[in-house]
Amino acid sequence: MASSHLLCNHSLFFPPSSKNSHLSITPQTKLQFRRTPFPKASKKQLEIVYDPDERLNKLADEVDKQAPFSRLTLFSPCKINVFLRITNKREDGYHDLASLFHTVSLGDIIKFSLSPSKTKDRLSSNVSGVPLDDRNLIIKALNLYRKKTGSNNFFWVHLDKKVPTGAGLGGGSSNAATALWAANQFNGCIATEKELQEWSSEIGSDIPFFFSHGAAYCTGRGEVVQDIFPPLPLDIPMVLIKPKESCSTAEVYKCLRLDQTSKVDPLALLEKISRNGVSQDVCINDLEPPAFEVLPSLKRLKQRVTAAGRGQYDAVFMSGSGSTIVGIGSPDPPQFVYDDDDYRDVFLSEANFINREENEWYKELTSVTACQPPEASQTLE
């Protein structure tokens, strides 16, 4: 092997004799070796990387040259209803409510990029089952913004979905508010936050809340938002538990009986929470009985969480119209959700209350952990 290496990497060089035209080799002949230089490696390296978004990124780079900025990534938090009173049924078929809404640290990530298109938005998501056309509140919000302002900006949007749907957490409403905020940033903030809040009520009752600073006393259909100072410490831990099944909001309201709702003054609940904090007696949700009628297993879940977490949670209640059960006071779910096969598909997430600063959007807390089954990705061309 040594000789093979020598022959492959070196050439023999014999000094020419001045006396003879031919060369003779004797034992005394001194051999000299000249190293044959290897070809120098080219500085240009060919790297092949599969990137399905490469074409889009190149187009976005072109847009970058034409705009002050063309990409924006925002956190889209969900909310819980610390209490939810239903006070009246209106002539238009909706119900009046009075509720303490509060944003929490579980949320989606939405990436916005300016599109060179002047005809349509493009929406993609990491989960299946999310509508990617104008049924989605993100697209509705972008259409609404263009209608109100005359803007001709269209967008590529990617929704990294972490908030479960049909959960009573306002995930879709938050996405819409985030899209309105993003569109306004791309257009130099030509609309005020108050205008964005007022416009948003045209496409959803819960959307205006997200233009508060994170805590609000909401009335009407939910669109009348009174921004308040956070009545609870932001570092209170909680766990969110959502079964695989969801509640239809329409079905829940259909089963609602106003004569069986709580008669406690919602302002008294707000005052008590501000003064004494969270307890089971103030976390009233008038939609729990009809939701439990629509989904009996949800009532059983709340009962088991309450029993298993006795002393662990300050309060256990349902958020919105369901089907998420909230346990405030501990980030840890009860052990039975791990041990019982009936709950192997349950969604779990720890959370904290959050708010946002003036003229800024919500920021993600990096400590939040959520657990849910992975889904296939979808893209709308």
User: CA 156, 157, 163: angle at the middle one, nearest 5?
Assistant: 170
Cβ proximity of 32 and 14 under 8 Å? yes
Is 53 part of the annotated catalytic residue set?
Answer: no
Cis peptide before 323 (omega within 30 of 0): yes
Instruction: State the residue for tokens 């893209």.
Output: 379
> Residue 24 belongs to what H/E stretch?
none
Catalytic pick among 108, 206, 286, 314? 206
Is 206 part of the annotated catalytic residue set?
Answer: yes
Measured between alpha carbons, how far is 165 from 100 in angstroms, rounded to an integer? 21
Write out the E strands in the chain. 10-13, 32-35, 71-89, 95-115, 122-125, 154-160, 215-219, 224-227, 237-242, 315-318, 325-328, 347-352, 370-371, 378-379
Q: What 3-state DSSP class applies to 375?
A: coil
Cβ proximity of 227 and 212 under 8 Å? yes
On the CB side of 100, how many CA atoms lie within 13 Å of its CA? Answer: 25
Catalytic pick among 79, 140, 161, 162? 79
Residues forming the active site: 79, 206
